[in-house]
Every structure is written in structure tokens, then in C-alpha cells.
Amino acid sequence: MAISTRESGDVVTIEVKGRFDFAAHQEFLGAYKHFPKGEKQFVVDLSGTEYMDSSAMGMLLQLREHGDKSKPVELINGNDGIREILRIANFDKLFKVA
């Protein structure tokens, strides 16, 4: 599992590679907590994510609370399995899923 962050203006992209589960909690939190709350739009690139569990979904909800409320967190490039998990959990109503 590896998490990397890129910042471009008001947008921060967090890339998650490997398993997105509780083991990623501290690293995922560290990827965004140092940005002031409410000032950035976050994009989570799931192109390298092989697996995602309910703790990862909880982490995404925490990220949602940290970001700019006027711009939804975007979850991009998830494989079919990840997108299905997000759809079943109705995350497509809380996030922009692409």
C-alpha cells in the first residue's frame, strides 16, 4: 500500500495504490490533515487501488468533512469492483464518482 499527494492550486489529488483498508489509516490521514480545513478540493485517484473495505469508506467520509464544502470530493479511476462497492454504499450521492 502506498499513498501519494499532489497539489495544484486549490486541488489536492491523493493517489491510493494497493489495498485501501485500515492499515492505510495513518498515511491517508497524513495526506490531507496538514491542509487547512475547508480550503482545498480533494480528488482521490483509485486507479492503483486493488481492494477497498468499509474502513476505507470511513476514511473517505472523514476526508469529505475536511474538504471545501462547496466542491465535492471526487473519486476517480476506480476499477469495476471499487465502483460497484461505492455504488452499493450510495457514495455516488455523497461524492463525485468518475
H/E element, 62: helix 54-66
pTM of model > 0.85:
yes
Q: Is residue 5 part of a domain?
A: no
Q: Is residue 85 part of a domain?
A: yes
Cα–Cα distance measured from residue 22 to residue 35, given in angstroms and rounded to the nearest whole number: 22
CA distance 16 to 39: 22
In-domain check, residue 63: yes
4 found inside a domain: no
Interval 2-53: pLDDT, tens: 899 999 999 999 999 999 999 999 999 999 999 999 999 999 999 999 999 9
pLDDT band for position 84 (cuts 50, 70, 90) = very high
Number of folded domains that form the chain: 1
Q: Are 66 and 88 in contact (CB under 8 A)?
A: no
Q: Domain of residue 79: give its range.
A: 13-97
The contacts of residue 25 (CB under 8 Å, 6+ apart) are 55, 59
Over residues 65-76, the pLDDT tens digits come to 999 989 999 999
Q: What is the CATH number of the domain that holds 76?
A: 3.30.750.24
Q: Which residue(s) pair with 6 in the sheet?
A: 13
